[in-house]
Structure 1
Amino acid sequence: MIILIIILPIFAYLCLKISSLKDKSLYLFMIIYPNVGFIGFPLLQSLFGKQSLLLTALINMPFNLSLFTLGMMIMSNNKSFQIKKLITPGIIASLIAVILYIFSISLPETLLQPIQLIGNMTTPLAMIIIGATLSKYPIKKILLDRKIYLFTIFIDLIIPMIFSPLVHFLIKDTMIQAMTMIILVMPVANGAVLFAKRYQQNEFLAAKTVFLSTLLSIITIPVVALCFI
């Protein structure tokens, strides 16, 4: 949690401080917040089994707190936030999940099935929003942006490489080591598009970065998993 929520934002801020990029607030957001929810949860479950879901949920709670405090401040260029904005469906669901796990509470099938159906809609809906945003622009502007490819390589390969020694030094549990590295190599969170839309940031830049980083993660995730885990 410290690596993801404190060290990574400081590292990202220092990197962008010396860069000449425009839209620095958006770039900072995209470095700090990888796609833990839509891709991280199913990928970690497939790699490490159901026991990884609770650990991922525990990581995701402070991650969401950071998203709706620091993330909102970055994207809105505002140094204040309202505490009520922390009460989000993601935070509430994570807390409920931890309570259910601790007390070994089983929900009836009549509740589980509709909850699962609703949960399964989140990824397709996020993809639809990104696709609708990208559909407004020529395909060449999406696929031939050299700057986005370089940025994607930086966040999907260079950052995990830089953080790998720190992860292995600070974390002794091999499973949590691997989970941390997998989270670090996740593509840009879909929320970057939604936040860019909400706070009048460069929505097209966010959408094509999410798209290309997700597309390239088909290569970068296995590379990092083979070389640094």
Structure 2
Amino acid sequence: MDSALTILSQVVMMFVLIAVGFVCYRIGMFTNRANKQISNFVLTIVTAALILDTYQTDSNPKLIANLGICFVLSVLVLFLGVIVSLVLKWKGKNHDTIATERFGTIYPNSAYMGIPLLLATVGETGVFYASAFFIAFNLMTWTQGVSLLTGKMDKKLILTAITSPAIISIVIGLPMFLFQIKFPAPVASAVSSLAGLMTPLSMVVSGVFIAQTNLIKAFTSIRVYIVSFLKLILIPAIVLMILTILPLDYEVKLTMLILSAAPCATGTMLFASRFGGDIETASSVFTVSTILCIITIPALIMVSQLLW
């Protein structure tokens, strides 16, 4: 119950920050260009700093084993999303729209939403475990995700996936963790300060994205609610049932549940814009699922407390 209340409190706080971003955009304080720059800063520098910061912890065999387990579970969760997304049929809709809906169903907002929630509940251990999810997430979005939107596979995108800032930070941070190499105090302080920007900046950016959405159209679309149901309820409910029967550490279970319960990824809009998806649909499913998760995530965590 404590975790559910912590999640609820954190989600409400995050939505206050989202509202700040929303208002700032509507009054002209933020521009699209500024938002893209801040978004890139969060996804590259801040995310990398957060991962490096979490790897500056004492090594032990249990953490290493759990990291490997989280990677396997992450792959399974994403492939579960691929299977569930097949519910969304092509009838009456063009390829771009359905592909974008499926992308939103498969890929959760693990960075912008997942990390702040993990920090509030599991702490840096949760972010440490989540780094395994980022590997699977990056590899799949740049391969399966792009293939879904474009209808073709470009092998060059695999290079893009493995050279993303999140992956590079893991490549640097993991050996430091294994061999217990620590940053000098001033560097460690700087990295920690950058990591602390994750929650406020990511939420403000999300608010700016929501401010650019036609809210009336988004909230009156039945298909948006179908995608939100699949992403926020069906997939995490299946993950919850699987985790309940597995003999895993509580921190591992809660990390995977929170990541799977996160709303549609911000990347749904970014990838749709870059690879020919339906940008309006992407914006709608991101906005509605993000707003609805204030109810669904605490509810799922509460159920998990009763089961675990």
- Superposition TM-score, scaled by structure 2 size: 0.64
Cα distance in 2 for partners of 1:149, 1:201 equals 19
C-alpha deviations, 1:58-112, integer Å up to 9, x for none?
Answer: 2221221112221121122212331321211121112222222222222234434
Which residue is equivalent to 1:67?
141
Distance 1:63 1:170, change over 3 A: farther
Which stretch shifts more, 56-65 or 75-84?
75-84
Which residue is equivalent to 2:270?
194
Matches within 5 A, 1:1-229: 1-13=74-86, 15-17=87-89, 22=94, 23-82=97-156, 83-86=158-161, 87-116=163-192, 120=197, 123=202, 126-127=205-206, 130-131=209-210, 133-134=212-213, 137=214, 139-170=215-246, 172-229=248-305
- Confirm or deny: 8 A CA contact 2:262 2:297 kept in the other structure: yes
Write the letter of the residue equivalent to 2:79: I
Alpha-carbon offset, residue 48 of structure 1: 1.3
Distance 1:175 1:118, change over 3 A: closer
Aligned length: 225
User: Structure 1: where are the runs of 5+ without partners?
Assistant: none
Which residue is equivalent to 2:69?
none
Distance 1:116 1:209, change over 3 A: farther
Cα distance in 1 for partners of 2:206, 2:239 equals 29
Cα distance in 2 for partners of 1:129, 1:117 equals 23
Distance 1:165 1:20, change over 3 A: farther
Q: List structure 1 runs of 4+ shifted beyond 6 angstroms.
A: none
- What percent of counterpart residues are identical? 23
Write the letter of the residue equivalent to 1:42: P
Query: What secondary structure does 1:62 align onto?
Result: helix
Alpha-carbon offset, residue 11 of structure 1: 3.2
Cα distance in 1 for partners of 2:104, 2:171 equals 25
Alpha-carbon offset, residue 144 of structure 1: 2.9
Cα distance in 1 for partners of 2:134, 2:91 equals 29
Query: What secondary structure does 1:172 align onto?
Result: coil
- Confirm or deny: 8 A CA contact 1:196 1:206 kept in the other structure: yes
- Confirm or deny: 8 A CA contact 1:126 1:190 kept in the other structure: no
Alpha-carbon offset, residue 193 of structure 1: 0.7
Cα distance in 1 for partners of 2:209, 2:185 equals 33
- RCO comparison, higher one (Cα < 8 Å, 6+): 2
Write the letter of the residue equivalent to 2:127: L
Alpha-carbon offset, residue 153 of structure 1: 2.5
Cα distance in 2 for partners of 1:143, 1:220 equals 17
Alpha-carbon offset, residue 159 of structure 1: 2.2
